[in-house]
Every structure is written in structure tokens, then in C-alpha cells.
Structure 1
């Protein structure tokens, strides 16, 4: 890790440059754990792992004007490893450029975990040749041996993606691989436009519920939806309350 924010409250990181080779292993740029009310702004991060990683017991995290690349993208997780509990809430990414990263906006959890990821908003993000621009992976397995199938999972809900555009390296521009027993719910897509330079793009869903409005390309019709009445509620919940970050308003 280059920067670690751990067991802290009310932290601002601004105008930081992190530079490591794209093939350098486990070199996260900024890692946030067990912390609240953290603002990361105007940072340029190139690394061999996640540009920013947010893990258990973190809440009220705001990222603004972030450049990421090379690297593995901006990640919540991993969470739930070794049947542990993971909780992350109220995270906002507003205005970012990701270039030639292996992932874009990623939520990753291990099978067998518990807890929840709730009220996240990713908006105003441009992608350039990103392999997995939007991805939720509840079958994450960073292990030399095969991870066994388990029924418990970290619950993922109230996730909003808004104004996301650019180019993808993979045909599956959006991937929502959620737990069969604990489906993802209230995924909201608004004004998404992801293209592949040579080929067509699609959305992959497994046990994912939600809906799109405005332009959504590729189509996310595979999201099963019972949630349209919650559109305004989700938009509100996805914003950290003002009093939580009043000391660090951007």
C-alpha cells in the first residue's frame, strides 16, 4: 500500500500523485479501512493494483476528480473473506477518468461472508479502454485453490451509476455477478454509454435487481426489476448526509 487510512475519522487527501508500474503486485494507491468521513480529491494514481480500495467498516467516503491508470480501478472490497463480516456505506465517486485499467468501478466480495454494501454512487466518470468498466463480483476468489460455493454473502443494495461513458476492452461492459441466495438489489443505471472500439457490448446479470433510466448502453434489460418506485429514494440514500461531511465539503 502507498497510503493507508485506518481507524480514522475526518481525513482529507488532496493533490496526491502515486506512481508505480502497472505490473507491480499489490501496490494499492490509497487504501481506506475502518474509517469515516474521508475525502480524496484531485489525485492522480497509477499502480499495479487498485487505485483506491475501500474495505470493511468504512462510511462517508467521498472521492472527487480522480485520475486512475494504470491499475485495477476503484474498488469497494474485497469483503467477506474467510466468512468475515464486511460493511461499507455512503460512498461517492464524482468526476473521474480511468485509462487502460483492468477494472473501472468495482465491488468485490467473497462467498461465505456477511454484512452489507449500501448507498454507493458513482457519477461523471469517463473510461478509456477499461477491461471491466462496471463490475460487481460476489464470486471474488484471489486464491491459488478453487473457492468452494457458499450460500451466505455480503448483501449489496442501493448502488447508483450515473453519467458513465467511454470505451471498454471487453464485450461485457457491465457485469453484475451477484449471489444466488442474496441477490443484489436497487441497482440504478442512468445515462450510461459504453462502447467497444471493435465489436458489440453487452450487460451480464446474475441474481441482480434494478433498473435504468435515460440512455443505458449497453441495455441492462437483464436486471430484474421491482424497484422503480424507489428511484428518488435511492438517489437520496446514495448521498452522504450533509452533516457527515460538512467539515470537508468540496
Structure 2
């Protein structure tokens, strides 16, 4: 379908050029579109490729045998939500991991209190973790394992593992949020645990689970390849600080499908070292939107490529589709498409911010920046809370380039929506509302972008933005 679309568009542009005498800039636009499609070619077939990775992983239900059942209750778990069941979970994991045809079962109708734990592989076979009950974290920060201050449940070095069920993973984060410096500036700023982490693993499937009230981030995918999340629900109050829904870092070939996310921070955040990310049928709200970044903090080099969001509904979020980078960083974001997205009462529906500054102090203007190019927004509709429905706030020294808008219709319910541009170039085709004439592309800029990922020039001074 994407290939047919590109061929059709190519014919239109070619016909326009030959028959109506349109300038060669139309060819430059076509070249940009081809470059974006080339970047995204792998992502478009990613879902099928990952499905192949899971063909050798048998499913399991309580009605079917053929697997060795390892029940946490058999290892001393009480499931009353009061007694610490951490050691029972560790013992059950060790048994299941050492058994080639195992299912680790967390039974329904019970609540298990588990402290910070690392569940390590590799395992003897394709382990299935069936979570039908509720797993809760200690609700007192003082009771947290001091050896693991930033993690709760970590699964690492696995291959071909499945996490599934109708259960709930509850971080009991309320007291962590109350002690956050973002909620009360008199509190010291400190990190808090993330609820569920997949680390250094491949061919991982997660489906049906609910993760809620995390101390900070809910679900992290790090240093992993071929991970698929389906029908996962993530929730926390809108006022909970730093509670990102799904955070992807240093990972490749990740598919998020049919996920419903509402938190106090980004619904999805994609950061350095990530590529081949496909999101489909995503509900976001409340939260800070679907974000690439932040990138480039502390002068770091950050790279994100090949990201597709196809079909999403965002409601009441403080951002919509966002790319955010710090001044002073380097690297690039390239080959991104956001398409078929409906917005309802969203602030900053489309935003690129190269002056991101999530800090109590003003951030210093710096010359270098993460290069942002080949970004497409297609079929984006709905309502905005902000007058600036589209905002491209880019670096004067490393501008954003090849921003493509197609079939955009964003209305402000109580006024007129507009587009803001600073050092951003690109073009639109089809219907684009609000008007985005402030994106002005040229052949020169197109060719420069294809030859060079980032340019460093003398900074002329730019506005500083804070967290939205």
C-alpha cells in the first residue's frame, strides 16, 4: 500500500512538471519523499518479521497441558498482599528458567507483594510468564531494597519469552510521587524505580497485562531486539511525575499494538539508539503525548531512526506528536512518519522542540544540536488547545529540514490555529490547516541534508523552552 501511494504521488508530480511546467523543486520534493520511504521500508514489514520470530513459541492456557507448570504458590508465596513474596518468586523463576517447557504462573484472585528483583536468563527454553493475579510493590519508599534504587521488576538476557495474562502489575507509586521535587520543589530531586523492564533480550512478547501506578516509568525496553507489546494497558494519574508509559532505549524492531496509555508523562518515549519502531492503534491520554526524546542531554550523541506511528487517538494530552532535544547534543533523528492520528483537545498537537529544557534552571544556549530531518505528518486531524497547533522550534545552527505535511486539519475550538517555524524547512501537499507557509524548502537545503547529518555553526541565540 505504501509503495502504491509513492508511485501514485510520483506520477502526479511528474505529470505536473511535464505538462504544467512546474519548477524542478517538485523533483526535490519527490526525492525527499523517496528518502523517507527508503528509511521506513524496513519498518513497514516489521510486524510480519517479528511475528515470524514468535512462531516457535507455543501459547498456553490453564485448559491445555503440554507444559510444566511452575506456580509461585508452590514455592511459599502467600498472595495476601501483606507478606513479602519476593523469595518465592525468585525460587519459582529459577525453577521455571531451568526447565525447557515451563510456565511460571501467578494465579488469579491473589495479590503478591514483591520487592525489587532481577529475573535473569538465559533460560533453558522459551519460558512463558502467565500473570493472572496482582503483583504489587512496597508502598513505602523507605522499605525499598537499597541495592536496587531504580528498578522494580527486571527481566534480562531472555530469548523467546512470553509475558501474558489478565493480571495487574501495580507499582504503588503514590508516596514516591509525593516525595518528587516536581510535585514539591522543597523535596530533593532523586530517581525512583521503574516498574517493568525488558533488558538485553530478543523475541519477547508481552500481551494483555495491565501496568499501573509506577513509581516512575512503567515499562522500559532497553538493549533489546524484536519486542512486541499487544493489548497492554498502562495507567497512572495525570499528576504523577515522570511516569512515562512505554520507554524505548537502545532497542530495535519494536512493535506496539492496541495499547491504551494514560499517565503523568509521555505515553511513549523513544530515545537514543532506537530504530525500527512501529506503533499501531495507540490511545494516549492523559499524558505528555507520543515523543521521540528527549535527546542530546549533557552534550550526548543521540540517534533515532525508522519510526512509524500508524493510527492513534490522543485526548487531552499536553503534547501530541513531539520530537524534543536538548541544546549541545549531536546525532540525528531521521525517517519518521506519524499518520492517521486523531486529536481531541490536545495542546501542541505537532511539535518539534530543539530547545527542550526540563530543568529548574535556564539551559545555556549552545551551538551544536541533534539534527532532525525527513519527518512526515500525514492525515492528522482534530482540535488543539494551543493557538500554535504546529510548532517547529529548531536550532539556528542545525536547522530542521525536509519536514513534510500532508492532509493536516487542526482546529482551535475557541480561536484561530496557526503554525510557528524557527529554522525549519519543508513542504506540504494536499490540504494543510493551519497554513504552514513558514516552512520554505529549497533544492540546496535538500541536497545538503542528504550529504550531511548535522552542521555546526556559530549560535545566534535562541529561546529556551521548559517542560510542557
Please report how far the alpha carbon of residue 225 of structure 1 lies from its aligned counterpart in structure 2 after TM superposition.
Answer: 1.1
Unaligned 5+ segments in structure 1 are 235-250
The residue that corresponds to 1:157 in the other structure is 373
The residue that corresponds to 2:336 in the other structure is 120
What is the CA–CA distance in structure 1 between the aligned matches of 2:443 and 2:261, rounded to whole Å?
Answer: 36
Please report how far the alpha carbon of residue 229 of structure 1 lies from its aligned counterpart in structure 2 after TM superposition.
Answer: 11
The residue that corresponds to 1:80 in the other structure is 296
The residue that corresponds to 1:131 in the other structure is 347
1:44 aligns with 2:260: yes
1:192 aligns with 2:405: no
After superposition, residues 91-240 of structure 1 pair within 5 angstroms as 91-226=307-442
What is the CA–CA distance in structure 2 between the aligned matches of 1:23 and 1:227, rounded to whole Å?
Answer: 46
Residue 211 of structure 1 contacts residue 227 of structure 1 at CA under 8 Å; is this kept in 2?
Answer: no
Higher RCO (CA < 8 A, seq sep 6+): 1
1:32 aligns with 2:248: yes
* Cα shift readout 1:106-126 (whole Å, capped 9, x = no counterpart): 000000000000000000000
Please report how far the alpha carbon of residue 224 of structure 1 lies from its aligned counterpart in structure 2 after TM superposition.
Answer: 1.5
What is the CA–CA distance in structure 2 between the aligned matches of 1:103 and 1:124, rounded to whole Å?
Answer: 17
The residue that corresponds to 2:56 in the other structure is none
1:56 aligns with 2:272: yes
What is the CA–CA distance in structure 2 between the aligned matches of 1:195 and 1:116, rounded to whole Å?
Answer: 31
Aligned with 2:298: secondary structure?
Answer: helix
- After superposition, the Cα gap between the structure-2 partners of 1:227 and 1:18, relative to the gap in structure 1 and judged at 3 Å, is farther
Residue 20 of structure 1 contacts residue 27 of structure 1 at CA under 8 Å; is this kept in 2?
Answer: yes
Residue 401 of structure 2 contacts residue 445 of structure 2 at CA under 8 Å; is this kept in 1?
Answer: no
What is the CA–CA distance in structure 1 between the aligned matches of 2:293 and 2:385, rounded to whole Å?
Answer: 23
The residue that corresponds to 1:238 in the other structure is none
Structure 1 runs, 4 residues or longer, greater than 6 Å off: none
Please report how far the alpha carbon of residue 131 of structure 1 lies from its aligned counterpart in structure 2 after TM superposition.
Answer: 0.5
What is the CA–CA distance in structure 1 between the aligned matches of 2:258 and 2:290, rounded to whole Å?
Answer: 14
What is the CA–CA distance in structure 2 between the aligned matches of 1:33 and 1:47, rounded to whole Å?
Answer: 19
Flag the structure with larger Rg: 2
Residue 76 of structure 1 contacts residue 108 of structure 1 at CA under 8 Å; is this kept in 2?
Answer: yes
What is the CA–CA distance in structure 1 between the aligned matches of 2:445 and 2:234, rounded to whole Å?
Answer: 42
When you count helix as a share of all residues, which structure comes out higher?
A: 2
When you count strand as a share of all residues, which structure comes out higher?
A: 1
Please report how far the alpha carbon of residue 24 of structure 1 lies from its aligned counterpart in structure 2 after TM superposition.
Answer: 0.4
Please report how far the alpha carbon of residue 226 of structure 1 lies from its aligned counterpart in structure 2 after TM superposition.
Answer: 1.3
Aligned with 2:277: secondary structure?
Answer: strand
Instruction: State the superposition RMSD in angstroms.
Output: 1.4
| Aligned residue pair count | 231
The residue that corresponds to 1:89 in the other structure is 305
The residue that corresponds to 2:236 in the other structure is 20
What is the CA–CA distance in structure 2 between the aligned matches of 1:20 and 1:142, rounded to whole Å?
Answer: 21
Please report how far the alpha carbon of residue 82 of structure 1 lies from its aligned counterpart in structure 2 after TM superposition.
Answer: 0.4
What is the CA–CA distance in structure 1 between the aligned matches of 2:231 and 2:416, rounded to whole Å?
Answer: 37
- After superposition, the Cα gap between the structure-2 partners of 1:155 and 1:229, relative to the gap in structure 1 and judged at 3 Å, is closer
Please report how far the alpha carbon of residue 63 of structure 1 lies from its aligned counterpart in structure 2 after TM superposition.
Answer: 0.1
Aligned with 2:411: secondary structure?
Answer: strand
Length-normalised TM-score, structure 1? 0.91
What is the CA–CA distance in structure 2 between the aligned matches of 1:154 and 1:63, rounded to whole Å?
Answer: 23
1:7 aligns with 2:223: yes
